Chains A and B, each alone.
Chain A
Amino acid sequence: MSVLDGPRRADERALITPEGVDLRVRVAGPGERLSALMIDVGLIVAIMIVGLLLCFGAGWVMGFRNGEFLMVILLIGGFLLRNAWFIAFELTPYAATPGKRATGLRVAARNGGRLSAGAILARNGMRELELFLPLTMVLGGGGEGVDGWMYLFGVVWAAVFALFPLFNRDHLRIGDLVAGTWVVHAPKVTLLRDMVDDQPVLAAEYAFTQAQLDAYGVKELHVLEDVLRKADRKIMAAVATRIRGKIACTAGEYELDRSFLQAYYTALRGRLETRMLLGRRKRDKFDRD
């Protein structure tokens, strides 16, 4: 399909919705996943510390007589923070914990279908194996009666699970594998203005010939779009000089670089879009017929 031969990123994957449209999502890398996790763990630890202090304060006020009630709160609260934090946040329509939200990540079903509650439970139940087991292994330091080799074996064994996301293409962790989910980029993108709207002069002033418009392809068009959007005077001057050289067009005496670029952008886009409609997508300037 001609639509799909544009520049593809290494982390881009096909996600076919039930409507049959390929959304081409970007999967989250291990680094982003880790930073999202760190934010969540940081928040959990912070809440735990605040909770502990509050309970201690309450106990102090009550003179440590009704300690049992506070212990129940601490135990259950700790359990909920450890297990329910991720599940509760991922069950919301946004399907992301605060850490994921902050890094622009969301959980989605890998097959393009509906994300089920069972999937959320499964992917977070596995966290026990991937996060807490290795942590207790490393922090526990073996304990009494466990010799060095056994300890080493335990750590390596746990590390296999913890480092799982590094060794597969979509950076799935075991929870994702077992739940059929993945974590994708879905930051909010705002709609930027169409650069054609900016046209200050009549493009008809420049009657570009077909040969002049065939000098570039889609890739260059998009670069030009970015240049116009940034509107840096120096860059625009350099780009305008390059283009004029390439298409053999001399600058008029009072011609502004910006007007020239905008006119060329509009004309080039028109030409490329027309050809695209006829089934020919010129990828870049090296793409000859």
Chain B
Amino acid sequence: MAELQLKSHRFRNEREASWRRLDSLMTKVERQSVDSLTDDQLLEIPVLYRSAMSSLSVARSISLDQAATTYLENLCLRAYLFVYGVRSTPLERLARFFREDWPRAVRSIWRETLLAALLFALGAVAAFLLTSQDPDWFYSVMPSGASQGRDPATSTEALRATLYHDDGTSGLSGFAAFLFTNNAQVAILAFALGFAFGLPTALLMIYNGLGVGALMALFVSRGLGLELAGWLMIHGVTEIFAIALAGGAGFRIGRAILAPGDRPRVEAAAEAGRTAALAMAGVVVMLMCAGLLEGFGRQLITLDAARFAIAGATAVIWGLYFYLPRRSTP
């Protein structure tokens, strides 16, 4: 019998216990979570993983035991996906995101953000000039229904009223939630559309600018320009900044696909995508702030000076937070 003992059989008998140990740990992690493991078990995994990897290499070169090789391939893949998977606890990740990842991602797309902001401004200026010359342009620029009773047919008094008592103070949180979800969805779309070489993103930026420009022209023509600016800017600083960032994130992807530089296109796109997505996740947070400012702040604060003060403060805070040079922690 002894001479019939196959090497591959002996190999399996010797290693099987450690494979099964790794298997049971993996099963536990997959069923529940990392927290279900003790510290010792957590430390054990990389060691078992490496030993399983070496078992796989050996099995492939000496063993024809199909069951063992298939099992090891699968076990190694599962362990690999865990060992090289997304790590760190959600709380750590969140802290790191706000402290480091987000500002860095935003800084790295500053050129694209500038381009998006310029396009937005272009749309706004164009609509402003057009509507100032001929108020009829207002109707072609504004999507129907978006003006909510603010159009050239409205009297100046009624226009003034829309700036200071929107819909009363009821329904504020619902309004804020609606604004947030709606804007966030548009921002995510602007980001995703960047894949089509950034072209639709550019259109979306200009289109968003148009509305602001047309509204501005209408109110300026009635001598309400400053008041409207306060009404818009209290949340607009945050919101327009966020939209420009979303557009910038989209452009970043479009640029990587159009001009990948000396790297393969797919690789460049993947790297751009990961950076841009980090910036995007933050955009959603900014839009949440903007939604709150628009839904609550604007309705409750009706003093122009206070509105401008808040607008200025948000501009300074976001600007410093993103662009203030800082030492990077390792």
Contacts and interface: CB of A to CB of B under 8 A. Distances in A.
B278 interface: yes
Contact of B78 (A19, A188, A192): A188
Contacts of A197: 9
Interface string A163-197: 00000000000100111100010111111111111
Q: What 8 A-B pairs have minimum CB-CB distances, sorted nearest first?
A: A180-B270, A178-B273, A122-B277, A129-B192, A118-B274, A121-B277, A192-B67, A189-B74
Given A71-B177, A117-B86, A269-B64, 20 more contacts: A3-B60, A21-B56, A68-B173, A91-B86, A92-B33, A93-B30, A110-B270, A120-B86, A121-B274, A121-B280, A128-B191, A133-B189, A178-B272, A184-B77, A189-B75, A193-B67, A194-B9, A195-B67, A270-B4, A276-B61
Contacts of A114: 84-87
B184 A178 contact: no
B74 A186 contact: yes
Contacts of A40: none
Given A78-B181, A129-B189, A273 B63 contact: yes
Contacts of A129: 189, 192-193, 195
Given A174-B195, A194-B9, A121 B278 contact: yes
27 contacts: A3-B61, A72-B176, A75-B178, A91-B90, A93-B30, A93-B34, A93-B82, A111-B267, A112-B84, A115-B85, A118-B275, A118-B278, A125-B191, A126-B273, A133-B189, A178-B269, A184-B77, A187-B74, A189-B70, A191-B16, A194-B9, A197-B9, A229-B67, A269-B8, A270-B6, A273-B7, A276-B62
Interface string B251-276: 00100000000000011011111111
A259 interface: no
Contact of A125 (B60, B62, B277): B277
B241 interface: no
B9 A177 contact: no
Contact of B274 (A15, A18, A179): A179
A247 B328 CA distance: 72
Interface string A89-105: 01111110000000000
A202 B57 contact: no
Contact of A266 (B4, B20, B271): B4
Nearest to B96: A117
Contacts of A95: 81, 85-86
A24 interface: yes
Given A93-B34, A133-B189, A191 B68 contact: yes
A90 B85 CA distance: 10
Interface residues of B, number: 82
A79 B188 CA distance: 12
Interface of B: 1, 4, 6-9, 12, 16, 19-20, 23, 27, 29-30, 33-34, 50, 53, 56-57, 60-68, 70-71, 73-78, 80-82, 84-87, 90, 93, 97, 101, 105, 170-171, 173-174, 176-178, 180-181, 184-185, 188-189, 191-193, 195, 253, 266-267, 269-278, 280-281, 284
A202 B1 contact: yes
Nearest to A218: B64
A108 B81 CA distance: 7
B77 A75 contact: no
Contacts of A161: 195
Interface of A: 2-3, 15, 17-19, 21, 23-25, 68-69, 71-72, 75-76, 78-79, 82-83, 90-95, 106, 108-123, 125-130, 133, 161, 174, 177-180, 184, 186-197, 202-204, 218, 221-222, 225-226, 229, 266, 269-270, 272-273, 276-277
Contacts of B73: 23-24
B85 A93 contact: yes
Identify which of A123, A184, A189 gathers the most chain B CB atoms within 10 Å of its CB.
Answer: A189
A243 to B, nearest CB: 17
A72 B70 CA distance: 51
Nearest to B175: A68
B253 A93 contact: no
Contacts of A121: 274, 277-278, 280-281
B64 A221 contact: yes
Given A93-B30, A109-B84, A174-B195, A194 B12 contact: yes
A276 B20 contact: no
A110 B84 CA distance: 12
A210 B86 CA distance: 52
A87 to B, nearest CB: 9
A235 to B, nearest CB: 17
Given A125-B280, A186-B78, A192-B71, A272 B64 contact: yes
